[in-house]
Structures are given as structure tokens and as C-alpha cells.
């Protein structure tokens, strides 16, 4: 008996009840009878397909047929998108594509279902595709919209590569802010190094810091190209045997020179040799260490910033608008407004500190207790 995942309840037609291929062919005959319909699909500059209410392929343009590695659309007819694309999860359930737990977070599935419910939708689909040469990750931008043809409710789906979009998002969210911060840092260090009023030692220190900042800025600028090359499988690497301890020490030193948190390595741990590209591995380790390190100062700053921002903005707005309690629009009135809110600000600080301490401190405490228990058990053995 086939077990279907509960996500099917969102879909108008039960996905596990597939019509026979003859029924799919009958659905295909209607749009295919309109001669220009196939030409319209082929004219779309991206991969495109037409689905029936059961999300089976009726028609596909030549770009999609070529991407799927098929000879013609007849090989794809009756398949669902995940089965046609070779998604590794499409065969995990007897119901096929759209009936596994992974489908609940699939961008393609969500876009198509939303279109079946009556409105167009665009989603990013990240999948692992099984091909003859092995598994490969694929990022697709999926656009789907409802389409009614002679009384039949069909779904038009277009697929394009989402690699460029994801790369732009990463640049905007990560690389660009880093680059802007490093530019500001290099400008400040340049002024400090050129300051004739500074001592020779201070200027030499500024030049040393400027050299390090320039190196880090160069790495950040080249990061998008390296990322794109890595995703395309074109990144040139030079593997060699390196010491794991030296690799970690080098990554920690780079992090410290860049103003990041200090990382202490246990000298008592055994060393090991690994085969990797030392430069690439050091960059990856540096990013992992930088993002995974949560310091007390950062938690404290975050706990202070939230209540303080709310305190300043909300009370200024209350004073300016006269909302709730009208204060005179003078400096004395503004001061009185803020003074009246100080007890609430104090309570906000205390509650935020408690929550932040629990949220960040408890996991650390649990990890340390677990490590201590493990060491005790090993010692007893």
C-alpha cells in the first residue's frame, strides 16, 4: 500500500492517483492541436513545460528536452518535474515527485502548487540531480502560472538557472558589507600612516595594519569569482599534504590579524596530515571560525542595542507626536519624556539580558557539561 505524505492535502487532486498514460495523451492532444502552442513554448527563452492538474508533463520545449537528456518530448510525457529533472528524492516514495517529506520545502513543488491554487509564483529550487556521471547540485528559479486552455486548467512552468541570482544575494548580504568595512578601514589606516604628527613607531604600525587590510580586501574582492568557479566545478586547486595543526594555526592567525576573535588551539591534541589545497582550506576555515565564534562582548552589545534603540525611538516619537502623554515640545519636555520611561528601559534591559544569557549561555553550558562527562567516562575506562 502506498503511503502518501500529508503535504498532498494542499493539492486539489490526490497526487498518488496518477491517470494512465492514455489519459495524459488525451489531455495533450487538445493543446497540441493548436499549432502555434508548441511554437510559443519553443520561443520562450528558458526551459518551459505544460503540466496537467496531476502535475504531469504534457508538453515541453526543446530547451527542457535537451536539459533532461531526452530525444523528444514523448520521453518526458507523463513524468512529473522532479522525475524528469532526476531529483534524488523523487524516487523515495511510491507516489513519486511531490509526495516525500523533502517536497514540503521544494521551491519547484511550492511554485507549481500555488499556481494550481490560482496565482503565479516564483520560487528558487535547490536540488541534487542524479545523472549518468553522478549526483550534481542544481539551482533553478521556477516560475509557474495557471493557464486555462479550452476549459482545461493547466499550469505553465518556466525554469532558469538561479546560480547568478544566488551569487548576487551572497554578494549583497556578505561580501559587499565586508568590502565596504575594509575600504573604510584602509582609508583610516592610510590617514594614520600619513600623519606626520604621529611617532615613527605608530606610523610603522599603521603601515603594517594597512598591508594586512589591503590583503584581506583583495581576498574579499576575488571571493565572488572563486565562489562562481567552485559552483561551476572550474576552481583550480593544488592539493598537497599539509599538517592539520599548521592549517588551523594559520587560519586562526589570519583571523586574529583581521581583528577577529582569538582562537586557542590545544597543543596536547594529536596532529594529522590531510591532502587539500592549503590556501583554499585556510580561507574556508577562517570563515567558519569567524561565523561560529560568539563572544560575550557581542552578545552583550546585542542585548544593549535592542532595548536602547527602542527606548530612544519610541520615546522620541511619543514626545514629537504627543501620543499617550503630551509633553511640551521643548528640551525640558523631551527630557521629562525620557526620564518617565527610564524604569521601563531598565526592565527591558534586565529581561533582554536574561533571555540573551539563556539563549547563548545554556547551549555553551550544555556542550561543556557533555564534554566534561565524556572526558570523565574516558578517564574511568
Q: DSSP letter at 157?
A: E
The least confident of 20-24, 53-57, 145-149, 186-190 is 20-24
Same domain, 261 and 364: no
Whether the Cβ atoms of residue 50 and residue 32 lie closer than 8 Å to each other:
no
Closest alpha carbon to 152 in 53, 257, 266: 53
Residue 280 lies in a domain: yes
Read off the pLDDT of each residue in 340-362 and give the average, rounded to a whole number: 71
Same structural domain for residues 104 and 167? no
Contact 90, 97 (CB under 8 A): yes
On the question of pLDDT at 365 being above 80, the answer is no
Q: Answer yes or no: do 15 and 157 share one domain.
A: yes
Say if residue 259 is in the same domain as residue 353: no
Nearest to 41 by CA among 51, 27, 53, 55: 51
Domain housing 254: 238-293
**Is 1 within the bounds of a domain?**
no
One domain for residues 41 and 187? no
Instruction: Quote the CA–CA distance of 315 and 130 in Å, as a whole number.
Output: 58
Give the count of domains, the chain: 4
Query: Do 72 and 112 reside in the same domain of the chain?
Result: yes
Task: Let me know whether 29 and 109 are in one domain.
Answer: yes
pLDDT digits (tens, 9 = 90+) for 297-331: 556 666 677 778 777 877 777 777 765 567 788 88
Q: Do 245 and 226 share a structural domain?
A: no
Q: What are the tens digits of pLDDT across the range 149-190?
A: 777 888 999 999 887 777 667 666 666 777 777 788 888 888
Average pLDDT of 103-122?
Answer: 85
What are residue 241's DSSP bridge partners? Answer: 275
Supply the pLDDT for residue 48.
94
Whether pLDDT at 45 is above 80 = yes
**For the whole model, what pTM was predicted?**
0.49
The answer to whether residues 274 and 226 belong to one domain is no
Cα separation of 19 and 372, whole Å? Answer: 59
Amino acid at each position: 500500500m502506498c503511503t502518501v505524505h500529508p503535504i498532498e492535502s494542499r493539492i486539489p487532486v490526490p497526487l498518488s492517483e496518477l491517470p494512465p498514460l492514455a489519459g495524459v495523451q488525451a489531455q495533450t492532444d487538445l493543446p497540441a492541436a493548436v499549432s502555434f502552442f508548441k511554437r510559443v513554448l519553443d520561443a520562450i527563452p528558458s526551459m518551459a513545460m505544460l503540466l496537467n492538474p496531476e502535475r504531469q508533463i504534457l508538453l515541453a520545449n526543446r530547451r527542457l528536452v535537451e536539459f533532461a537528456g531526452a530525444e523528444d518530448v514523448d520521453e518526458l510525457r507523463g513524468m512529473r518535474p522532479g522525475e524528469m529533472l532526476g531529483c534524488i528524492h523523487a524516487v523515495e516514495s511510491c507516489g513519486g515527485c511531490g509526495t516525500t517529506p523533502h517536497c514540503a520545502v521544494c521551491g519547484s513543488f511550492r511554485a507549481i502548487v500555488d499556481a494550481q491554487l490560482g496565482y503565479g509564483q516564483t520560487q528558487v529550487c535547490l536540488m541534487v540531480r542524479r545523472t549518468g556521471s553522478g549526483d550534481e547540485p542544481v539551482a533553478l528559479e521556477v516560475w509557474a502560472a495557471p493557464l486555462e486552455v479550452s476549459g482545461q486548467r493547466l499550469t505553465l512552468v518556466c525554469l532558469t538557472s538561479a546560480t547568478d541570482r544566488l551569487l548576487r544575494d551572497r554578494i549583497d548580504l556578505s561580501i559587499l558589507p565586508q568590502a565596504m568595512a575594509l575600504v573604510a578601514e584602509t582609508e583610516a589606516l592610510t590617514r594614520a600612516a600619513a600623519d606626520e604628527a604621529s611617532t615613527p613607531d605608530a606610523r610603522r604600525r599603521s603601515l603594517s595594519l594597512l598591508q594586512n587590510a589591503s590583503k584581506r580586501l583583495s581576498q574579499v574582492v576575488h571571493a565572488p569569482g572563486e565562489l562562481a568557479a567552485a559552483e561551476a566545478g572550474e576552481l583550480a586547486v593544488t592539493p598537497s599534504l599539509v599538517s592539520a595543526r599548521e592549517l588551523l594555526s594559520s587560519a586562526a592567525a589570519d583571523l586574529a590579524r583581521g581583528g577577529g576573535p582569538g582562537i586557542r588551539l590545544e597543543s596536547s591534541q594529536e596532529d594529522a596530515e590531510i591532502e587539500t589545497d592549503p590556501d583554499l582550506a585556510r580561507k574556508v576555515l577562517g570563515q567558519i571560525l569567524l561565523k561560529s565564534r560568539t563572544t560575550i562582548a557581542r552578545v552583550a552589545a546585542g542585548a544593549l542595542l535592542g532595548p536602547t534603540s527602542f527606548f530612544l525611538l519610541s520615546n522620541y516619537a511619543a514626545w514629537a507626536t504627543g501620543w499617550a502623554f503630551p509633553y511640551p515640545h521643548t528640551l525640558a519636555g523631551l527630557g521629562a519624556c525620557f526620564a518617565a520611561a527610564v524604569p521601563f528601559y531598565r526592565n527591558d534591559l534586565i529581561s533582554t539580558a536574561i533571555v540573551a544569557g539563556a539563549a547563548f549561555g545554556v547551549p555553551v553550558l550544555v556542550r561543556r557539561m557533555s564534554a566534561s562527562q565524556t572526558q570523565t567516562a574516558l578517564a574511568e575506562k
